[in-house]
């Protein structure tokens, strides 16, 4: 089992936190091997933000640290989307934040999931800031990349207690999205 | 032992604590400051001291002083700071002082791109100071190895009474990975050799059979002499060719004599490989992907990855590479390690694959070059 | 050393202090009439008094020097000693002190070593009130390298690098250090060894950052440039200029070869040193 997870979005959308939570869940709780890089513009908000994460149950399978062919692709905001089209594997699971993205090309073996993460977050948790965790729930629910309880453990480890319940709620909402 | 998910810089800091670090001196510089920040918090809990100095000149000299006061000592910096440490590093060499420098490469020359990487400084790491010497340089390729090789760096430094450089880069500094961090008691930790003779008989630079002189430190009554001038075994300045030779021979010889402790490399798919990639550090991550791509296409290629990029055990490298036809040296600079490999493997075709990339060379770019030659 | 001439200075014979010397390296390589030997003898006497009082343990004393004639002191002392890099002694000593607070660190250097190339370390050690005794030998010239401009060179002096006469003003390190909350700043002179010994003695019993400037004679190099090559003449000339004052003010501290140089204790405080502050933090 080897996943190449690519997440893109806009600064301020919590892309990096998405990566940290998934990384901790996979590495520490699911005991998988993980390698991840984060990139972001020098300004915190408004520029492109990206996480590349390789997850595998075999250490030997991890070599290059960036995604070459994404098996899981999450778009929180359509930043330079064209740039990524060649980087999506033929049978990728694709997750689109429908709040910002309408059009997306189709390919026969792509499984495309759409949900307005930002709107859902606002409606269910009262803040758009949990949209990243709603999306994480959706990704975990649909791909089974790690077990939900591992993600909950990771959230508990990383997220400050003040925001904990909100994020767990957001995650559960995402988990149950169709 | 604990399972972690963390980045390269944190791995270095955690490993230093396990290795027994007691004194850290540094000056903030991207991309290393988080090593210092983390140790500022943690080192006091381990009975040590972390101090932010006024510059890198002070930092390197302070760790040499601290080491002579008996502490395991380190600093961390990147290119601009390391340039300033040149003279202090030489002081550590000539006084045979165990210290560790975590050198996290960033793009240069000069201020370059502070947050981004290349592997352009491998010669600066080896030879930044003047004079004759060998400073071991270890180059990790993963977070796990950043941890493991930092412990090794301390062990070599203490065992051989020498400065050791842990050469990371900006990419590894903030690469997040799963890893297993071992604790004291679960890894071998080496401490410097103490004198077995009384103070009257002690000479601070007199080697024992293994080539290494025991080290008395300040405050123990040995009246040690730390001497930056060329000196004899007592530490007395003597302007004499034979003394100069003997001293250089001692400084260089102890490393060569113990090369098995210092030099480390690993091979991937090298059994009966027809061609080989030689690489190190983060570039080797891309190289390994390239090897797999090519093997899928039926090309018999393997990889030799140097964990120690200086000194190189040339004999064992020659042996490992003796059966191959073409050797590709993949690195993230204008082509530097390739000079060594061309010299060591002078009877082979050695092809530079020098790709400058602010993160790390991508497998596709490497493949483009290699495909031209296959 | 600008000089090849070896001379036996008084030190070698000064019997009671032999225990603080590396006798096998005596005689020193310092020139006849050099103030360095006098200054060192005063320092060793002060150390001896503190040792006898039980305030200092000779085993814990560490001399740290940079490079220069003054810095050669570490050749000769019978303590742990480090002859390090030009300008870096303060940094080296700070590291040693932090790693083992039980050590008593004595840093010695020329004015070039301490206040020129090493000036930044000096400033920051003072800012931290770092527990060090720093002794700066002011001989108005770069002696070891043969007579170049020093931070303390009198204006107008012809040195090997100021063939038209120096256009720079000498550096008043006393006043510089007065900007910080340090514990001891004094200026003494090899002309008045007893007084110097008192300053050393006092500083050796204190905590925090302590600084003593020693206005000294370098007949060989400075003497040559200023025209008093003969050690006795230079000594007399300096004696004319050096004035002792019990409680001089910082305003009187300028290093003025022409109008006179005031020696005395400029700053005496008792703030907690850096070491106490960090140890306190540790509980
Ligand atoms: C980095 C470096 N630059 C220059 C020198 C050459 N150098 C040695 S001693 C010295 C100056 C000596 O003057 P000072 O420090 O005042 O000491 P003095 O000899 O007068 O006691 C210089 C420039 C050096 N050793 N290292
Ligand atoms: S300071 Fe001057 S007199 Fe003293 S040893 Fe150096 S050159 Fe000679």
Neighbours of B86 (CB within 10 A): 16
pLDDT of residue C2: 44
Q: Which domain holds residue B93?
A: 2-186
Percent of chain B whose pLDDT exceeds 90: 100
**Cβ contacts of residue B37 below 8 Å, gap of 6+?**
none
B49 vs C22, C59, C278: nearest CB: C278
Rounded to the nearest whole angstrom, what is the distance from the C-alpha of residue B223 to the centroid of ligand 1?
A: 25
C81 vs B22, B55, B225: nearest CB: B225
Quote the CA–CA distance of C274 and C208 in Å, as a whole number.
Answer: 7
Quick check: CB of C68 below 6 Å from ligand 1? yes
Quick check: CB of C110 below 6 Å from ligand 1? yes
**Distance from CA of residue C51 to its chain's centroid?**
20
Residue C12 scores a pLDDT above 70: no
Query: pTM of this prediction?
Result: 0.96
pLDDT in tens, B54-77: 999 999 999 999 999 999 999 999
pLDDT of residue C16: 86
Q: Which atom of ligand 1 approaches the CA of B87 most closely?
A: 1
pLDDT band per the 50, 70, 90 thresholds, residue C196: very high
Quick one: average pLDDT of C213-225? 97
Chain A: touching chains (3 or more CB pairs < 8 Å): B
Which domain CATH number covers B136?
3.40.50.970
Which domain CATH number covers C197?
3.40.50.970
B99: which 2 tokens?
A: 């210290």
Q: Which of C37, C89, C145 to mutate to test the pocket of ligand 1 (most atoms within 8 A of CB)?
A: C145
Rounded to the nearest whole angstrom, what is the distance from the C-alpha of residue B237 to the centroid of ligand 2?
A: 18
Quick check: CB of C140 below 6 Å from ligand 2? no
**Cβ contacts of residue C259 below 8 Å, gap of 6+?**
none
Quick check: CB of C141 below 6 Å from ligand 2? no
pLDDT of residue A74: 98
Which of B186, B212, B232 lies at the terminal end of a domain, its last residue?
B186
The answer to whether A139 touches A75, Cβ cutoff 8 Å, is: no
Rounded to the nearest whole angstrom, what is the distance from the C-alpha of residue C116 to the centroid of ligand 1?
A: 9
Helix axes C89-99, C274-282, angle to 10 degrees: 30
Rounded to the nearest whole angstrom, what is the distance from the C-alpha of residue C84 to the centroid of ligand 1?
A: 12
Residue C3 scores a pLDDT above 50: no
Rounded to the nearest whole angstrom, what is the distance from the C-alpha of residue C112 to the centroid of ligand 2?
A: 14
Looking at the DSSP bridge assignments, the partners of residue A10 are A48
The residue in chain B having the minimum alpha-carbon distance to the alpha carbon of residue A19 is B176
B286 touching A (Cβ < 8 Å): yes
- Asked, for residue B286, whether it belongs to a domain, the answer is yes
**Distance from CA of residue C250 to its chain's centroid?**
19
Nearest partner of B130 among B64, B67, B85, B77, judged by Cα: B85
pLDDT of residue A44: 57
Q: Which domain holds residue C190?
A: 3-278
Which of B186, B213, B231 lies at the terminal end of a domain, its last residue?
B186
pLDDT of residue C282: 44
Query: Would you call A125 helix, strand, or coil by DSSP?
Result: helix
* Inter-chain CB proximity B22 and C99 less than 8 Å: yes
Going A155 to A159 to A165 to A166, the CA torsion angle's sign is negative
Q: Which of C110, C139, C145, C147 to mutate to test the pocket of ligand 2 (most atoms within 8 A of CB)?
A: C139
Provide the 8-state DSSP code for B113. B
pLDDT of residue A80: 86
Quick one: average pLDDT of B333-345? 98
Quick check: CB of C2 below 6 Å from ligand 2? yes
Computed over every residue of chain B, the mean pLDDT equals 98
Quick check: CB of C144 below 6 Å from ligand 1? yes
Name the fold adopted by A2-175: Pyruvate-ferredoxin Oxidoreductase; domain 3 (3.40.920)
pLDDT band per the 50, 70, 90 thresholds, residue C13: low
- Asked, for residue B268, whether it belongs to a domain, the answer is yes
Quick check: CB of C220 below 6 Å from ligand 2? yes
A36 touching B (Cβ < 8 Å): yes
Contacts of A36 in chain B (CB under 8 A): 175-177
Which of B159, B186, B213 lies at the terminal end of a domain, its last residue?
B186
Q: What's the domain count of chain B?
A: 2
Quick check: CB of C34 below 6 Å from ligand 1? no
Is chain C touching chain B, with at least 3 CB–CB pairs below 8 Å?
yes
- Asked, for residue B212, whether it belongs to a domain, the answer is no
Q: Which of C5, C8, C28, C30 to mutate to test the pocket of ligand 2 (most atoms within 8 A of CB)?
A: C30
Nearest partner of B308 among B169, B154, B138, judged by Cα: B138
Contacts of A38 in chain B (CB under 8 A): 174, 176
pLDDT band per the 50, 70, 90 thresholds, residue B119: very high
**Cβ contacts of residue A161 below 8 Å, gap of 6+?**
none
B63: which 2 tokens?
A: 């760790």
pLDDT of residue A41: 73
Task: List the pLDDT tens digit at each of the 178 positions of chain A.
Answer: 999 999 999 988 999 999 999 999 999 999 999 999 998 876 656 789 999 999 999 999 999 999 999 999 999 999 889 999 999 999 999 999 999 999 999 999 999 999 999 999 999 999 999 999 999 999 999 999 999 999 999 999 999 999 999 999 999 999 999 9
Rounded to the nearest whole angstrom, what is the distance from the C-alpha of residue C30 to the centroid of ligand 2?
A: 6
Which domain CATH number covers B321?
3.40.50.920
Rounded to the nearest whole angstrom, what is the distance from the C-alpha of residue C220 to the centroid of ligand 2?
A: 6
- Asked, for residue C283, whether it belongs to a domain, the answer is no
Residue nearest to atom 11 of ligand 1 (CA): C142
Distance to chain B for A58, nearest Cα, Å? 12
- Asked, for residue B162, whether it belongs to a domain, the answer is yes
ipTM: 0.97
Instruction: Transcribe A154-166 into DSSP letters.
Output: HHHHHS-HHHHHH
Quote the CA–CA distance of B219 and B217 in Å, as a whole number.
Answer: 6
Buried b (16+ CB within 10 A) or exposed e, B222-254: bbbbbbbebbbebbbbeeeeebeebbeebbbeb
Lowest mean pLDDT among B89-103, C12-26, C121-135, C165-179: C12-26
Provide the 8-state DSSP code for C116. I
Q: What's the domain count of chain C?
A: 1
Quote the CA–CA distance of A7 and A143 in Å, as a whole number.
Answer: 15
Half-sphere exposure of residue A17, counting CA atoms within 13 Å on the CB side? 22
Residue nearest to atom 13 of ligand 1 (CA): C142
Residue C283 scores a pLDDT above 50: no
Contacts of B178 in chain A (CB under 8 A): 23, 26-28, 32-35
pLDDT band per the 50, 70, 90 thresholds, residue C6: very low
Query: Would you call B71 helix, strand, or coil by DSSP?
Result: coil
Lowest mean pLDDT among A16-30, A78-92, B7-21, C194-208: A78-92
Determine the Cα angle at B31 with ends B25 and B37, to 5°.
45
Instruction: Transcribe C163-218 into DSSP letters.
Output: TT---SPPP-HHHHHTTS--SEEEEEETT-HHHHHHHHHHHHT--SEEEEEEE---
Q: Which residue has the tokens 């089992």?
A: A1
The most confident of A86-95, C9-18, C274-283, by mean pLDDT: A86-95
Query: Would you call B248 helix, strand, or coil by DSSP?
Result: helix
pLDDT of residue C8: 45
pLDDT of residue C107: 99
pLDDT in tens, C245-273: 999 999 999 999 999 999 999 999 999 99
Q: Which of C3, C67, C69 to mutate to test the pocket of ligand 1 (most atoms within 8 A of CB)?
A: C67
The answer to whether B265 touches B317, Cβ cutoff 8 Å, is: yes
């Amino acid at each position: 089992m080897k996943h190449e997870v690519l997440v893109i979005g806009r600064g301020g959308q919590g892309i990096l936190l998405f990566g940290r939570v998934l990384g901790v869940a996979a590495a520490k709780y699911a005991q998988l091997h993980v390698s991840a890089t984060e990139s972001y513009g020098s300004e915190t908000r408004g520029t492109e933000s990206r996480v590349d994460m390789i997850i595998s149950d075999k250490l030997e399978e991890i070599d290059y640290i960036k995604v070459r062919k994404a098996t899981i692709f999450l778009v929180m905001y359509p930043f330079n989307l064209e740039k990524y089209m060649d980087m999506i594997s033929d049978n990728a699971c694709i997750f689109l934040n429908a709040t910002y993205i309408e059009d997306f090309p189709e390919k026969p073996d792509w499984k495309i999931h759409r949900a307005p993460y930002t709107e859902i977050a606002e409606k269910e948790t009262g803040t758009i800031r949990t949209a990243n965790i709603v999306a994480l729930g959706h990704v975990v629910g649909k791909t089974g990349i790690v077990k939900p309880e591992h993600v909950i453990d990771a959230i508990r480890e990383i997220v400050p207690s003040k925001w904990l319940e909100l994020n767990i709620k957001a995650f559960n909402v995402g988990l149950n999205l169709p | 032992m604990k399972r972690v998910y963390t980045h390269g810089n944190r791995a270095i800091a955690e490993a230093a604590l396990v290795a027994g670090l007691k004194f850290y001196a540094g000056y903030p510089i991207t991309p290393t400051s988080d090593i210092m920040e983390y140790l500022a918090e943690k080192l006091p809990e381990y009975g040590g001291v972390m101090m932010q100095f006024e510059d890198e000149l002070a930092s390197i000299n302070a760790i040499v002083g601290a080491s002579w006061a008996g502490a395991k000592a380190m600093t961390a910096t990147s290119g601009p700071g390391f340039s300033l440490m040149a003279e202090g590093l030489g002081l550590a060499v000539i006084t045979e002082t165990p210290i560790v420098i975590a050198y996290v490469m960033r793009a240069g020359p000069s201020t370059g791109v502070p947050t981004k990487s290349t592997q352009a400084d491998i010669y600066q790491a080896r030879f930044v100071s003047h004079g004759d010497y060998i400073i071991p340089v270890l180059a990790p390729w993963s977070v796990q190895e950043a941890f493991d090789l930092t412990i090794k760096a301390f062990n070599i430094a203490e065992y051989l009474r020498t400065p050791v450089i842990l050469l990371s880069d900006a990419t590894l500094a903030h690469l997040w990975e799963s890893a297993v961090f071992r604790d004291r008691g679960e890894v071998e930790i080496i401490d410097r050799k103490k004198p077995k003779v009384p103070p009257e008989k002690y000479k601070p630079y007199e080697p024992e059979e293994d080539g290494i002189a025991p080290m008395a430190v300040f405050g123990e009554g040995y009246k040690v002499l730390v001497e930056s001038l060329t000196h004899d075994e007592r530490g007395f300045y003597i302007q004499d060719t034979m003394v100069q030779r003997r001293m250089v021979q001692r400084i260089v010889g102890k490393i060569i004599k113990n090369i098995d402790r210092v030099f480390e490399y690993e091979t991937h798919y090298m059994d009966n490989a027809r061609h080989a990639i030689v690489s190190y550090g983060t570039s080797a991550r891309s190289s390994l992907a390239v090897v797999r791509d090519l093997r899928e296409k039926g090309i018999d290629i393997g990889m030799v990855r140097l964990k120690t990029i200086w000194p190189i055990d040339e004999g064992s490298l020659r042996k490992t590479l003796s059966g191959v036809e073409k050797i590709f040296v993949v690195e993230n600079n204008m082509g530097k390690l390739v000079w060594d490999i061309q010299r060591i493997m002078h009877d082979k075709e050695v092809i530079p694959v020098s790709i400058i990339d602010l993160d790390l060379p991508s497998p596709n770019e490497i493949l483009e070059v290699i495909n031209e030659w296959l | 050393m600008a000089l090849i001439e070896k001379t036996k200075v008084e030190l070698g014979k000064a019997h009671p202090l032999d225990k603080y010397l590396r006798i096998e390296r005596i005689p020193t390589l310092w020139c006849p009439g050099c103030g360095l030997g006098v200054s060192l003898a005063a320092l060793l006497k002060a150390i001896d008094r503190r040792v006898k009082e039980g305030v200092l343990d000779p085993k814990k004393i560490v001399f740290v020097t940079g490079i220069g004639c003054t810095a050669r002191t570490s050749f000769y002392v019978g303590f742990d000693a480090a002859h390090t890099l030009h300008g870096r002694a303060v940094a080296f000593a700070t590291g040693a002190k932090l790693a083992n607070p039980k050590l008593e660190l004595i840093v010695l250097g020329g004015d070039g070593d301490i206040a020129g190339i090493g000036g930044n370390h000096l400033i920051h050690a003072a800012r931290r009130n770092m527990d060090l005794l720093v002794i700066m030998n002011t001989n108005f010239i770069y002696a070891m390298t043969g007579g170049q401009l020093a931070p303390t060179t009198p204006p107008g002096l012809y040195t090997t690098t100021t063939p038209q006469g120096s256009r720079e003003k000498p550096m008043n390190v006393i006043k510089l250090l007065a900007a910080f909350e340090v514990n001891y700043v004094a200026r003494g002179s090899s002309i008045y060894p007893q007084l110097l010994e008192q300053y050393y003695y006092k500083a050796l019993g204190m905590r925090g950052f302590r600084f003593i400037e020693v206005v000294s004679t370098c007949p060989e190099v400075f003497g040559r440039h200023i025209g008093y090559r003969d050690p006795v003449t230079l000594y007399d000339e300096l004696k004319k200029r050096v004035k002792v004052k019990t409680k001089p003010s910082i305003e009187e501290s300028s290093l003025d070869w022409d109008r006179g140089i005031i020696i005395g204790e400029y700053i005496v405080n008792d703030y907690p040193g850096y070491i106490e502050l960090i140890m306190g933090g540790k509980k």
